[in-house]
Amino acid sequence: MSEARTLAPAPVTTPPSGPAPAPGRGFTVPAWAGGLVGVVVIVGVWWLASATLWQASGSVPSPTSVLALFLNGDEWQTLWNNAKGTIGAALWGALWGNLAAVVLATAVLLIPVLEGVVTQIAITTYCIPLVAIGPILVIVAGRDAPQGASIVLAALSVFFTTVVGCLLGFRAAPRASMDLVRAYGGSRWAQLRKVQIVSALPNLFAALKISAPAAFLGAVLAEYLGSGGDSSLGRALIAAQTQSDAPRLWYLAIASGLIAGAGYAAVGLVGRFVTPWSGGSTSRSGS
C-alpha cells in the first residue's frame, strides 16, 4: 500500500507597503558639485605649481596673491576703468557681426542662389587669422577711431558661428507647419516669419552664447595689438607683462575670463526666457 503524502500550502507573503524603488535610480550628484570639484582641483594644482616648479622664477603666483587683488577695492575700480571700454567694443562688435550674420542667413532663405556666396564669406571670416589682420586694422582705424579695430575683430569673431546657427535653425522648421502656411495661401515671407524664425530661435541663441565670449576675446586681442586707447584690458595686460607683475597679469587674465563667462551666462538666461520650449523637460507617460 502506498503512503499518501499531504503537501502543505506555501506561505503567502505580503509585499511591503509604500512605493517601490525606481529601478536603476541611485545617488545623484548635483550639477554644481562637478564644477566645484573642478575648481578645487584647478586651484590645488595651481597652488602646488606655484610652490614648487615656479617658486624661484615667480612667473606663477600663488592663488592667495591673486585673490588679494580681487579683494582690493581700488583694484576693482581700476579694473572697471579698463574693462568698460573693452566691454563696449565687444558689445558693438557682437551687435554688428550678429546682425550681419542674421541678415545674410535670412537672405539665403529668400534667395537660395546666395547660399554659396554667403557660405564662402562666413568661411573666409572664420579662417582669417585675427592676429595677422589686427595690426592692419589698427593702422587703418588710426587715432580717429581708437576702438575701430576692436569692434571689427569682435564682429569677425562672431560672424561664422551665428551664420551657421541661423541656417541650421531655419532649416529645422517642421515641414508640416511650412505646408500648412502654404496651404492657407501664405507666401515665402509668411513661412519665414511665422514658422522658420520661431524654429531658428533655439539655434540662434545657442550661437549667440558662443559668440558672446568670442566677441570679448576679439576685442581684447585687438587692444593687445594696439587698439582701444590708453584705458583697456589689452593695454593693462601689456603693462603688467612689461613690468613682470605676475600677480596682476594673472588677476587681469582671470578677470577677463570671468567677464567672458558672464556674457555667456547672460545670453543663456535670455535664451531660456525667450525660448522656454527648447530646454523644458518632457513629462513621462504614466507619471
CB atoms within 10 A of CB 213: 22
CA contacts within 13 A on the Cβ side of 255: 28
Cβ proximity of 70 and 251 under 8 Å: yes
The alpha carbon torsion through 216, 218, 223, 225 (nearest 10 deg) reads: 160
Residue-wise pLDDT for 30-72, tens only, equals 766 777 787 888 888 878 877 787 777 777 888 888 898 889 8
**In this predicted model, what pLDDT tens digit does every residue of 20-38 receive, in sequence order?**
555 555 567 676 677 778 7
Comparing CA positions, the residue from 122, 150, 124 lying closest to residue 207 is 122
- In percent, the amount of the chain with pLDDT more than 90 equals 32
Which of 217, 213, 215, 208 minimizes the C-alpha distance to 270? 208
Q: Which residue has the cell 558639485?
A: 33
pLDDT tens for 108-161 read 888 889 988 999 999 998 998 888 888 888 888 776 677 888 999 999 999 999
Query: Residue 7 above 70 pLDDT?
Result: no
86-274: CATH topology? MetI-like fold (1.10.3720)
- C-alpha torsion 235→138→89→209, nearest 10: -100
Per-residue pLDDT, 183: 78
C-alpha to C-alpha distance for 143 and 93, rounded to whole angstroms: 18
- pLDDT tier at 4 (50, 70, 90 boundaries)? very low
pTM: 0.78
> In this predicted structure, what is the pLDDT of residue 284?
40
pLDDT for the residue numbered 9: 52
- Look at residue 17 in the predicted model and tell me its pLDDT: 55
Q: Which of the pair, 74 or 285, is modelled with greater confidence?
A: 74
Q: 118: which residues sit within 8 A by CB, 6+ positions away?
A: 104, 105, 107, 108, 163
For the chain, the domains span: 86-274
Q: How many helices (H) and strands (E) does the chain have?
A: 11, 0
Classify burial at 122, counting beta carbons within 10 Å of its beta carbon; exposed 0-12, middle 13-18, buried 19 or more: buried
